Amino acid sequence: MKIEQVVLDNFIQNGGSKVEKTSTSFSDVLKESISKVTELEKEANQQAEKLAKMENQDIHNTMIAAEKADLSFQLMMQIRNKIITAYEEIMKIPV
């Protein structure tokens, strides 16, 4: 689906009224995403500690939490790499 079609569909659904802009900045989105990754890592560490102390016998949920934290961290690193690549490409543009 093309972007123009999505914008047109939103315009029609809103009855022709102007589409509202969100006030969330790019840096706010990044900060929120990083904090979510940090929370997932903390949760995984807490569950691993409980499992090591034999306070928790549920290895399945512990492994799921660890994998969620790992995947989230990998995704965050890939996003960082894409941002750096985009910045480098912008810097190559002659002024």
Report DSSP letters for the chain, one per residue. --HHHHHHHHHHHTTTPPPPPP---HHHHHHHHHHHHHHHHHHHHHHHHHHHTTS---HHHHHHHHHHHHHHHHHHHHHHHHHHHHHHHHHHS--
Is residue 69, in this structure, part of any structural domain at all?
A: yes
Is residue 21, in this structure, part of any structural domain at all?
A: no
Is residue 54, in this structure, part of any structural domain at all?
A: yes
Which tens digits make up the pLDDT trace of 50-95?
999 999 888 999 999 999 999 999 999 999 999 999 999 999 999 8
Instruction: Give the domain range for residue 50.
Output: 27-92
**Tally of domains in the chain:** 1
Is residue 6, in this structure, part of any structural domain at all?
A: no
CB atoms within 10 A of CB 40: 19
pTM of the model: 0.68
Is residue 19, in this structure, part of any structural domain at all?
A: no
Is residue 18, in this structure, part of any structural domain at all?
A: no
